[in-house]
Structures are given as C-alpha cells and as structure tokens.
Amino acid sequence: MARRRFTFFYNAKVKTWDVIVIGGGIIGLSLAIELRKRGATVLIVERGEPGREASHAAGGMLVDWAAETPAALQELAMASARMYPEFARELQVESGMFVDLREQGAIVFPAPEHVHQRAGFKLENLPSASLAELEPALADHMRPAFLLKERSVDPRALTTAALAATKRRGVDISSGEEVTAVKVGNGKVCGVTTNKTSYQAPKVVNCAGAWSGQLAPHNFPTRPVKGQMLSLVSPSPSLLKHVIRAPEVYLIPRSDGRILVGTTTEEAGFDKTTDVATIQRLWRAAISLIPELRNAKILEDWAGLRPGTPDALPFLGETSTPGYYAATGHFRDGILLAPITARIMADVIAGKNCGYELEAFSPRRFQP
C-alpha cells in the first residue's frame, strides 16, 4: 500500500519594524529613543557592541564655539548645546545612571590664527590673576587665554545610559550582526540584509559612522579618522576644574578624578592600535600645561575612529532611494550633535518640516 505524502505550510507572520537603525553609537541610540517617543517600532542593528566605537572613544567636549565649528554647522551645534541639559537629564532619569554633564566651562589657549577672532565673539583675555584663580595648577598664567561657557559630558556614561533607555522604551537591538546591504524592492527600501539574516522595514537609517560608506546601494564618502587618547588618574581630585584646550593638547576632567588627554588626527584606515611614542607625546604635552600631572598614573590609552567626510559635514536626510536615510559622518561632533540629530531626523522620517535648512548636509551632495 502506497504511503500518502502530506505537505504542511507554516504561515508564521514575519516580524517587521517601522524603522531600522544601522549602528548603535550615540547617534543611532538617540534617534531610536526619539522615534520611540513618537510611537514608531525600531530595530537597531549593530556590527559590534552598542556604543563601543567612536562614542566610546570620544572626549565629550560639547564645543559650539564658532572658531572651531564649520560655518554650515554652527546653527545646529548651538541648538544641540542648548538641548543638552534636558537631554542628559532625561537619559539619567530613564536609565538611573549618572552621565557626568559638567558646566564649569573651558579655558582655551587659542591657536595664533584664532586669536584675532575673539573680538567678533565678545571674548576677553583672562587676566593672569583670574587665570591663576580659576586653575592654580596651570604652569603659565601669563599665556593669552579666555573662558568659554561650554559643557562636557562623559561619552561612555552617556552611551551606556542611552542604551539602557532604548531597552526600557522597547527598542529591539541586534548586536554582533553586520549589515551588508540595504534591501530595495520596487524602487524603495524594504529592509536590510546582514551577515546572518535579513530584517524588514519600510524605512532604514544609516548611522554606521566610519562604516557608513560600505553599504549598498549608496557609497557615502565616509572614512575613518583615527584619534589616540589616554586617561590619567589625577593625583588630586580637585587638581583641574575646567576643560583646558590648547593647540598642542586638550585636558578633560571627570567628576571621579580622571583626566582625559587628547588627541591625534590620523588617516590610518580602520587601524585602532595605539602608538607608545604618540601616547608619551600627549602625556608630556599635558604635563607642560599642568606640571603636577607628572605624578598622575596612566589608567588606559585607546584609539577611536571618527567618521570623516570630504567637507567635514555630516550626512543628514533622505537619500535618493525612498525610505533610506542617513545620519552619519559627524566627525568630531557626534556627542555634541546627538540631541539635535535625533530630533531633526525623526521629523524628516515622519515627513515633517524639521525647522532647519539641511541642504548642506544632503546625503546626495556627492553623487554624480
């Protein structure tokens, strides 16, 4: 007697999301939180561990001074700096974590080419007595300097809090999975393909930082720009109050007594190794500013890869493929620009007027 063959069909519904965010750095995490606030379902796909690339390596100076910010970016930088207290407070409340947002300001020793610019920004040289009072440990109180009212934040604490907030808000996260292409069907986005599987969504945002240009169908001209840094354990918790920024080095104090020293700007591809000679040079430059740091211990050193672009401006907006967006290429300003990028891109994705002119940041600007 012949056996009958039966065919069974399993008609399980494939899960989809409203938006897929490629990249789990501070830009991707902040955008995912903002999208969830507006009711969207979100999946973050991260090639490594969320927050462990450029965000983890950053210094955290929230610089919005015009002399150090590209002209096209100044409006967004100022707006984002104003948003930071509330942005940090929300993340702390949602995560229960401290992000170490400091408001003591920055003492800047300007490069010679920037000295003449201070008049246009109503900046006065700090008298030597004032400089000595603000930072007694500085080696040279006669050097021309001025005080900026800017903040700093601990990027590692910030991204850890943002990651906790995304999970609390129900954002799905896939770690250790590399997106290899953005899927396009019938002329519009329908999801992403990874090295393990594929995911479906009608909208995809490329927040992949230095790796952004490796994804089809658009090769954004992003590149990794290496920066080496080190962290010192201060010999005295109150040794340094302000961020110190000089042409040769910058120093960023943390509330727990650490002092970050940076940084380099190197075209070295995706190499994240540190160089002993470079780290020693940075340490010597720090000691030249604050002699007491010769008694500090080096806690760690590292290198990060900033996402650079040909014109030093980020990509913000929709690409020429409907449903495919970019929020990447922030170079040195990813931490600073996270709040404004999240708000702008959430508006753009929703088809709303974001209130800013984004032509200078168009993802299409380098296309033939």
Band (237; pLDDT cuts 50, 70, 90):
confident
When mean pLDDT is compared over 12-16, 63-67, 276-280, the highest value belongs to 276-280
Cis before 217? omega within 30: yes
Q: Model confidence over 77-127: pLDDT tens digits?
A: 999 999 999 999 999 999 999 999 999 999 999 887 655 554 445 567 899
Q: What is the pLDDT of residue 111?
A: 81
Which stretches does DSSP call E strand in 154-242?
172-175, 179-185, 188-194, 198-200, 204-206, 223-233
- The pLDDT of 135-153, averaged and rounded, is 95
Statement: residue 144 has pLDDT above 80: yes
Q: Is the pLDDT of residue 358 over 70?
A: yes
Q: For the chain, which domains are there?
A: 19-99+155-222+310-361 (3.50.50.60), 106-148+224-308 (3.30.9.10)
Mean pLDDT, residues 153-168 taken together: 98
Given a cut of 90, whether residue 13 has pLDDT beyond it is no
Residues with Cβ within 8 Å of residue 127, at least 6 apart in sequence: none
Residue 186 per-residue DSSP state? T
pLDDT class of 247 with cuts at 50, 70, 90: very high
* Average confidence (pLDDT) over 226-243: 94
Q: Which one-letter amino acid corresponds to residue 158?
A: L
Q: How far apart are the first and last CA of the chain?
A: 69
Q: Is the pLDDT of residue 9 over 60?
A: no
Q: Which is more confidently placed, 112 or 362?
A: 362
Secondary structure (DSSP) of 105-152: -EEE---HHHHTTGGGGT--PPPHHHHHHH-TT-S-SSS--EEE--EE
Give the number of other Cβ atoms within 10 Å of residue 71's Cβ: 9
pLDDT digits (tens, 9 = 90+) for 104-114: 999 999 887 65
pLDDT at res. 24: 98
Please report the pLDDT score of residue 113 as a whole number.
62
**Alpha-carbon separation of residue 295 from 86, 108, 235, 280, 283 (angstroms):** 37, 24, 6, 14, 11
Predicted local distance difference test score (pLDDT) of residue 12: 46
173-218 pLDDT, tens digit per residue, is 999 999 999 999 999 999 999 999 999 999 999 999 999 999 999 9
- Inter-CA distances, 124 with 50, 65, 104, 320, Å: 42, 14, 18, 47
pLDDT at 65 over 80: yes
Q: Report pLDDT for 368.
A: 75
DSSP letter (8 states) at residue 359:
G
Share of the chain above pLDDT 70, in %: 93
**pLDDT at residue 163 tops 90:** yes
Q: How many CB atoms lie within 10 A of CB 226?
A: 23
- Give the three-class secondary structure for 213: helix
User: Cβ neighbours of residue 74 under 8 Å, at least 6 residues apart?
Assistant: 64, 66
In this structure, what DSSP letter does residue 310 have?
T
Q: What is the pLDDT of residue 116?
A: 53
Q: How far is CA 146 from CA 28, 67, 111, 114, 274, in A?
A: 35, 13, 12, 12, 32
Digit-coded pLDDT (tens) for 291-327: 999 999 999 999 999 999 999 999 999 999 999 999 9
Q: Give the phi and the psi of residue 364 in degrees, each rounded to 5.
A: -95, 0
3-state secondary structure 13-52: CCCECCEEEECCCHHHHHHHHHHHHCCCCEEEEECCCCCC
Query: What confidence score (pLDDT) does residue 302 get?
Result: 98
Q: Residues 211-228: what's their mean pLDDT?
A: 95
Joined tokens for residue 101: 């947002």
